[in-house]
Amino acid sequence: MDTVVHVLRHGEVHNPTKVLYGRLPDFHLSERGQAMAARVADYLSGHDIAAVVASPLERAQETAGPIASAHQVPIGVDDRLIEAGNVFEGQRVSVGDGVLRRPSAWRHLYDPFTPSWGEPYNEIARRMRDAVVSARDTHRGRESVLVSHQLPVWIARLSAESRRLWHNPQYRQCALASLTTFTFDDTRLVAISYTEPARDLLTADDLTARGA
């Protein structure tokens, strides 16, 4: 019997100042983000969800809420699912705007392959792999939902597909409230799929913009 681990990116965040919120507290889902979370819960309503586990950050916990409620399971917390660390946290980083215009920030940009501005990709891959394996081994033959953040979700997929971890953020396939699903036959990974249950709530900008 297959074991399935869904890795879910959280919904839209209320962020009027458009900063890179990273691991900062008190960044919550917007009204549209809450609707996205409800849409994912509807999408998974007929699934055999044994566990819902989320990053400790509020936006992930809030995204997990409707799914956990629908399946009458508690929301677990796993620090391994947290957003990637980033030295530009709390600052605006849009192209042509904010901190990246300052020469003092450029010393953090010398190595895009590690990357030099934040948590190393290989460390993100390791902790996300461990979280997925824990869910797989704890709920054999059933389904789990892990709620995380765009970069960790994408790195988990790249690692599972044995692809290079360095990448152009513009080409991440990981929209808001999207599911990257890992299917296992016993311990062997047999499929990776991607779905967007809240696609009708996404704008054209959402599908091209790459956020946290």
pLDDT tens, position by position, 19-56: 999 999 999 999 999 999 999 999 999 999 999 999 99
Which residues of the chain fall below pLDDT 50? 210-212
27-55 residues labelled b (16+ CB within 10 A) or e (exposed): bebeebbbbbbbbbbebbeeeebbbbbbb
What residue numbers bound the domain in which 67 lies?
2-17+29-85+120-208
Which percentage of the chain shows pLDDT scores above 70? Answer: 96
Is 115 inside a domain boundary? no
Is 202 inside a domain boundary? yes
Is 198 inside a domain boundary? yes
Given this model, what pLDDT does residue 212 score? 44
The sign of the torsion formed by the CA atoms of 48, 141, 53, 33 equals negative
Amino acid at position 195, single letter: T
Given this model, what pLDDT does residue 210 score? 47
Phi/psi at 2 (nearest 5 deg)? -70, 150
Is 79 inside a domain boundary? yes
Phi/psi at 144 (nearest 5 deg)? -130, 155
Given this model, what pLDDT does residue 107 score? 86
Phi/psi at 86 (nearest 5 deg)? -155, 130
The closest alpha carbon to 40, from 131, 138, 146, belongs to: 146
Which CATH number does the domain housing residue 157 bear?
3.40.50.1240
Given this model, what pLDDT does residue 95 score? 65
Given this model, what pLDDT does residue 145 score? 98
Q: Are strands 143-148 and 49-54 parallel, antiparallel or unpaired?
A: parallel
Is 194 inside a domain boundary? yes
Looking at 86-211, list the stretches that DSSP marks H as alpha helix, in order from N- to C-terminal side.
Answer: 121-138, 150-160, 204-208
Is 94 inside a domain boundary? no
Given this model, what pLDDT does residue 211 score? 45
**What's the whole-model pTM score?**
0.94
Is 141 inside a domain boundary? yes
Is 103 inside a domain boundary? no
User: Total structural domains in the chain?
Assistant: 1
